[in-house]
Structure 1
Amino acid sequence: MTEPAYRPEIDGLRAVAIIPVVLFHAKVPGFGGGFAGVDVFFVISGYLITRIIMGELAEGRFTLAGFFERRARRILPPVFPVLFATTIAAWAIFTADDFRQFAQSLAATALFGANFLFARSADYFTTQEGFTPLIHMWSLAVEEQFYLLFPLLLLTLWKFNRRLIGPAILVIAVGGLALAILAAPRHPLLAFYLLPTRMWELAAGALCALAIRHVRPHGALALAGLALITAGFALIGEATSVPGAMMLLPVGGTALVILFASPQNSAGRLLALRPLVGIGLVSFGLYLWHQPLFAFAQYQWVGALPGWVTAALIAASAALAVLSWALLEKPVRQRRTLRSRAALAAVCLSATLIAAAVGVAGNFRKIEPRSAAVMRQMDGARPAHFNQPLAIPDGASLPFILYGDSHAGQYYPAFVERLGNGALLSENGCLSAPGVNGWPDQPACARHVDRLVELATERQPPLVIWAQRWERELFDSATGQSLGALADRDGAELFAAIDRLLSRLPPQTRLVLVGNSPTAWAAGDAMYGGWLRCRAYLNAHCPDAYPAAMAEGRAESRLLAAYAARNPRVVYLDAAAPLCPDGRCIIREDETLLYWDGSHLTVAAARRVVNSLDARALAIPVPLP
């Protein structure tokens, strides 16, 4: 068939894509698969871009400069107000650590690489809060990278052998789908965010652009496409392997709608309804604005947002989308604003450099949020060494080795101050002893204790100090079988493992077991990110202390103390005693914070624990003959 210059049903299809995405980010029940609307957008983008390029190639008027200018006019001007507005909001609301994450995403977005940043560590469904305002920019980065590469492919094939265009795109689609199916379960973040595993969705749209002239509208097939899209939204969820085989539902459905919907059938007439077309016209602005609004609102509210707030945010997103379309998108695309290529380039390049520079400065803490002053005043900064899991000083001897998980790392500066320049061996979330560990599917955790024994054997320290969260489920290192938690069966398996560890350590080395440090978490949901994070909530009280009976790991600490009491080579350090005097665990005291997040101690609090260790308890007993 001959395609019309404008297909209103495509704008209606954009509305079908954007509405579930918005409701998904709004956490509206029943829209857990709404994020698949992005996959619908990818197919539409592949179709439209291929249609434009192939049409201009056929007419002999395609140029890369003209193509990139049109893409810049379509994409960049609406993005910059979002970046600048979110930067101001993040500066006003976020904690210092969250602002640094935001700054990273700001720079990455400005440089068309947000998906690379998020693929490193940002699970789309459990994203770190600093990334959330711009987490949706990953899809924009994928499309921008597609726009850079795909025209070059089409132009090259057009010049040398245009009959290969269809087969080449088919290979990309089939190969990309196979890659996505293989990669999604093994490397979920890479598969979710990166172009190679998303290219098949864009290629599916490209194939539609090539095939549409050879098909006729078909109402039943177009309705089947809408049904497949709807089924995708209903059946796909956070547990789905994305972008795996289940994504064929929205992708295949979108392809059917593009190929077979028309004004002459019911699917085309449905999608061409004015409300849907109107939403589709402003869908880009709606996509850009809705996520930051919800991210900042959810950052300031403990629990689910009230219904009226969600409705107001959706309305605000729609209003901003309409303003974006009327004041920016339409005028720039129609060359009523930024008429010349030079003017467009100057504005876009300047805005890009400013956003990237602010992001880089924020990452290196040259620009800090408003909350940073309070953080410094209260000594609540994240310790500079905290992300350093390994610290082994040069020299022949070590005064101590501090061993454990991130709760060992929190004590490292204080132990260095008291005992000298010792070593730190930490593995986040890991409890590791000979034959027992708390993370059975992570080989690094199982090897953690071997690294301790090797270092102790080599450097002969008088002390090994073991500190961590002890209330973990334990597993047999050989079989992976669960052994229960430490408090189960009085911790017999762990204490047998500690006995084995002692037999492998140098005989003059004494072991200090540091009991559970209470956390700010125990004070309630509002304290999950710590006292500084709690300050951002509009509906929560941030306590200065809580009853010691609520602290985690008290049973485990009692077991550790009893084990140390019957073993002359083991010393127990009660972390809770100096932090929970008079039956209350302190979070803030005399305008000083004891926690820099919801779980880890500040340097000032760690000093309290370390300085409570009786020096006489560290006297090394004479080894038994």
Structure 2
Amino acid sequence: MTHPAYRPEIDGLRAVAIIPVVLFHAKVPGFGGGFAGVDVFFVISGYLITRIIMAQLAEGRFTLAGFFERRARRILPPIFPVLLASTLAAWAILTPPDFRQFAQSLAATALFGANFLFARSADYFTTQEGFTPLIHMWSLAVEEQFYLLFPPLLLILWKANRRLIVPAVLIVALGGLALAILAAPRHPLLAFYLLPTRMWELAVGSLCALAIRHIRPNGTLALAGLALIAAGFALIGEETSVPGPMMLLPVGGASLVILFAGTQNSAGRLLALRPLVGIGLVSFGLYLWHQPLFAIAHYQWLGPLPGGMIVAIIAMATALATMSWRWIEQPVRSRRILASRNKLAMACLAGTLLAAGAGLGGHLRLIEPRSASIMRQMDGARPAHFDQSVVIPDGAPLPFILYGDSHAGQYYPAFVERLGNGALLSENGCLSAPGINGWPDQPACARHVDRLIELAGDRQPPLVIWAQRWERELFDSATGQSLGALADGEGAVLFAAVDRLLGQLPPQTRLLLVGNSPTAWAAGDTMWGGWLRCRAYLNADCPVSYPAGMAEGRAESRLLAAYAAQNPRVDYLDAAAPLCPDGRCTIRDGDRLLYWDGSHLTVAAARRVVDSLDVRALAIPAPLP
């Protein structure tokens, strides 16, 4: 027979897997390990796919074309409505930077490569908001990549030597587990998202399928499996090395349930209860729909979602999943819709191309969200130059080198306009001076100051401008030991490093220290993503200014100013003064924004700061080219 006998307890196990996943994404307390339900799904998928393939191989009916058609019928039609609805919601609500991230995830999802995209920079637990509506699609990508490799392997081994199938799958399982344990602490994103460190969970399910005909149901072992799954959900958390040894709890538990649960024992009867089976039947649609709904809700609500809203979203996701199962999944799988392979292929190709094309258009900014027009009207766009962390003009003398982190980069066009075509050396999030840095785990940060010293020695600029976010902890570059923060009274540590820097710069080069910009996020949680981001909240008002006493880096800026006053080669530029007139720091000045996100100045605001510089007071050659 082509399909093995139906086991209702497997659908019940699906419900056990999906419920914690939904509650985890709802951020319900007590379900911090709920994401491990995905690992249970991997075991179930490996089991079911292998049982079907082995049954068809035994009947002489298995073909790769038939297998991939069944996968397409099962997976693709339900995904397209989710992608369409998510895209419309993202267009209506997200800011342009977040929409661009969403578009990237849309294209990657359509091409079953979402895990590759997220493995680059998207921490599953603290990822950027634009990625969150489709962050769960990484697991579908892993499964589809597994399906591209595993069925051909089974087919080859079946034809070559069937006795090699179990050893080969066992090697995949053990090798994948070993790789996951080794990689998870060192490369957490790669280990979390990519197939090589996840395939062991699918392979364990495959081993269950290969072994189950030799197994008799055992209620005690099946209950032990449910207990292991529950222990996994309770003990695994965001700090757990994933997919490391702790994932053996849900994976091992799911295996015991699959192997030993049956209608003749209590575990099987429990899992076969109609409510659990019903949830399990619609679990695929529930998995697809719940995350975009929660992501959009979290995007529009400041703080934890109210309990009533969580219940309403879960009810909506369940209703959409039920409709998907009844009107899309079942008709397509039973061939009442898209009966022929050609019609299915055309429909799936059209949906894939539309989703991938929309994603590419959003990435290239050919398709923009509704908020883009508001952003342009208020001059609140991310500056086009901002992706340039290093700019070194050729040939002509350098009037200045602008040095620091991304807060230096925000001033670069304004300093070029004021002082001439200078150089930019910036490293995001990095404070670097001889012997100290603010990012001990990043060698590039420790070397950042060396690039400044080398460039200054080669080009002999009259001025080095050091601008950045000064509110950072300092570390010894050699040992990584914490040296405290500037605001904690550790000015001596920083200024001793500045003295060392001055000793390594050309003697005629002056140093201009730019004080901390006030930042928008100093106004509170509503402004963490900036004013445009704040507009999306339904339960918060967006401030246009805040008291100057709340400005970020005030203590650090006072120390910088005092140091500059005592050193004849050092000058100080107060960034807060032109941005905080009359005792209040401005976020929105009429119809113009001063910050394009929660921290960085717009070009117009950066000009305000640079224009307040008295060039004549600097003892450098003037006028500068």
- In the superposition, the TM-score normalised over structure 2's length comes to 0.98
What's the counterpart of residue 357 of structure 1? 357
Q: What secondary structure, in the 3-state scheme, does the structure 2 residue paired with 1:136 have?
A: helix
Q: What do the CA deviations read for 1:261-287 (whole angstroms, capped 9, x no partner)? A: 111111100000000000000000000
Query: Does the Cα contact within 8 Å between 2:484 and 2:490 map onto a contact in 1?
Result: no
What's the counterpart of residue 178 of structure 1? 178
Alignment of 1:360-375 (within 5 A): 360-375=360-375
CA distance in 2, matches of 1:44, 1:122: 26
What's the counterpart of residue 342 of structure 1? 342
Q: What do the CA deviations read for 1:563-590 (whole angstroms, capped 9, x no partner)? A: 1111111110000000001100000112
**Cα shift at 1:4:** 5.7
Letter in 2 for 1:519: T
CA distance in 2, matches of 1:277, 1:4: 18
CA distance in 1, matches of 2:111, 2:419: 46
Query: Does the Cα contact within 8 Å between 2:96 and 2:372 map onto a contact in 1?
Result: yes
Letter in 1 for 2:115: N
CA distance in 2, matches of 1:438, 1:5: 61
What's the counterpart of residue 253 of structure 2? 253
CA distance in 1, matches of 2:139, 2:441: 31
Letter in 2 for 1:17: A
Matched, 1:55 2:48: no
Matched, 1:213 2:213: yes
Letter in 1 for 2:120: R
What's the counterpart of residue 156 of structure 2? 156
CA distance in 1, matches of 2:537, 2:384: 26
Matched, 1:546 2:579: no
CA distance in 2, matches of 1:381, 1:161: 62
Alignment of 1:59-98 (within 5 A): 59-98=59-98
Letter in 2 for 1:70: R
CA distance in 2, matches of 1:356, 1:492: 54
**Cα shift at 1:620:** 2.8
CA distance in 2, matches of 1:617, 1:59: 89
Q: What secondary structure, in the 3-state scheme, does the structure 2 residue paired with 1:487 have?
A: helix
Q: What secondary structure, in the 3-state scheme, does the structure 2 residue paired with 1:242 have?
A: coil
What's the counterpart of residue 392 of structure 1? 392
CA distance in 2, matches of 1:490, 1:16: 53
Q: What do the CA deviations read for 1:379-421 (whole angstroms, capped 9, x no partner)? A: 0000112122111111142111111111111111111111122
What's the counterpart of residue 233 of structure 1? 233
What's the counterpart of residue 475 of structure 2? 475
Q: What do the CA deviations read for 1:284-342 (whole angstroms, capped 9, x no partner)? A: 00000000000000000000011100000000000000000000000000001111111
Q: What do the CA deviations read for 1:49-92 (whole angstroms, capped 9, x no partner)? A: 11111111111000111100000000000000000000000000
What's the counterpart of residue 118 of structure 1? 118
What's the counterpart of residue 494 of structure 2? 494
- In the superposition, the TM-score normalised over structure 1's length comes to 0.98
Q: What do the CA deviations read for 1:205-252 (whole angstroms, capped 9, x no partner)? A: 000000001111111111100000000000000000000000000000
Letter in 2 for 1:521: W
Q: 1:594 to 1:373 in 2, by over 3 A?
A: same
Q: What secondary structure, in the 3-state scheme, does the structure 1 residue paired with 2:384 have?
A: coil
What's the counterpart of residue 453 of structure 1? 453
Letter in 1 for 2:560: L
Q: What secondary structure, in the 3-state scheme, does the structure 1 residue paired with 2:216 have?
A: coil
Matched, 1:424 2:424: yes
Q: What do the CA deviations read for 1:119-139 (whole angstroms, capped 9, x no partner)? A: 000000001000000000000
Q: What do the CA deviations read for 1:438-466 (whole angstroms, capped 9, x no partner)? A: 11222111111011100110111111100
CA distance in 1, matches of 2:555, 2:77: 58
CA distance in 2, matches of 1:182, 1:426: 34
Q: What do the CA deviations read for 1:456-506 (whole angstroms, capped 9, x no partner)? A: 101111111000111111112222222211133350111111011001001
RMSD of equivalent CA atoms? 1.1
CA distance in 2, matches of 1:113, 1:606: 39
Q: What secondary structure, in the 3-state scheme, does the structure 2 residue paired with 1:20 have?
A: helix
What's the counterpart of residue 143 of structure 1? 143
Q: What secondary structure, in the 3-state scheme, does the structure 2 residue paired with 1:465 have?
A: strand
Letter in 2 for 1:174: L
CA distance in 1, matches of 2:564, 2:236: 51
Query: Does the Cα contact within 8 Å between 1:289 and 1:317 map onto a contact in 2?
Result: yes
Q: What do the CA deviations read for 1:418-445 (whole angstroms, capped 9, x no partner)? A: 1122111111111111111111222111
Q: What secondary structure, in the 3-state scheme, does the structure 2 residue paired with 1:19 have?
A: helix
CA distance in 2, matches of 1:617, 1:154: 78
What's the counterpart of residue 383 of structure 1? 383
What's the counterpart of residue 576 of structure 1? 576
CA distance in 1, matches of 2:276, 2:362: 40
Single out whichever of 467-476 and 350-359 deviates more from structure 2. Answer: 467-476
Query: Does the Cα contact within 8 Å between 1:490 and 1:559 map onto a contact in 2?
Result: no
Query: Does the Cα contact within 8 Å between 1:569 and 1:620 map onto a contact in 2?
Result: no
CA distance in 1, matches of 2:617, 2:513: 12
CA distance in 2, matches of 1:314, 1:512: 55
Query: Does the Cα contact within 8 Å between 2:483 and 2:490 map onto a contact in 1?
Result: no
Q: Which runs of 5+ in 1 are unaligned?
A: none
Letter in 1 for 2:459: R
Q: Which runs of 5+ in 2 are unaligned?
A: none
CA distance in 1, matches of 2:104, 2:159: 41
What's the counterpart of residue 266 of structure 1? 266
Matched, 1:465 2:456: no
Query: Does the Cα contact within 8 Å between 2:11 and 2:280 map onto a contact in 1?
Result: yes
Q: What do the CA deviations read for 1:130-178 (whole angstroms, capped 9, x no partner)? A: 0000000000000111111111111111111111111000000000000
CA distance in 2, matches of 1:21, 1:375: 36
Q: What do the CA deviations read for 1:568-616 (whole angstroms, capped 9, x no partner)? A: 1111000000000110000011200000000000000000001110011
Query: Does the Cα contact within 8 Å between 1:396 and 1:459 map onto a contact in 2?
Result: no
CA distance in 2, matches of 1:447, 1:617: 32
CA distance in 2, matches of 1:170, 1:481: 45
Letter in 2 for 1:294: F
What's the counterpart of residue 311 of structure 2? 311
Query: Does the Cα contact within 8 Å between 1:440 and 1:480 map onto a contact in 2?
Result: yes
What's the counterpart of residue 333 of structure 2? 333
CA distance in 2, matches of 1:58, 1:391: 65
CA distance in 2, matches of 1:242, 1:473: 29
Letter in 2 for 1:586: T
CA distance in 1, matches of 2:483, 2:127: 31
Letter in 1 for 2:399: P
CA distance in 1, matches of 2:257, 2:64: 29
What number of residue pairs does the alignment pair up?
Answer: 620
CA distance in 2, matches of 1:116, 1:438: 30
CA distance in 1, matches of 2:480, 2:309: 46
Q: What secondary structure, in the 3-state scheme, does the structure 1 residue paired with 2:613 have?
A: coil
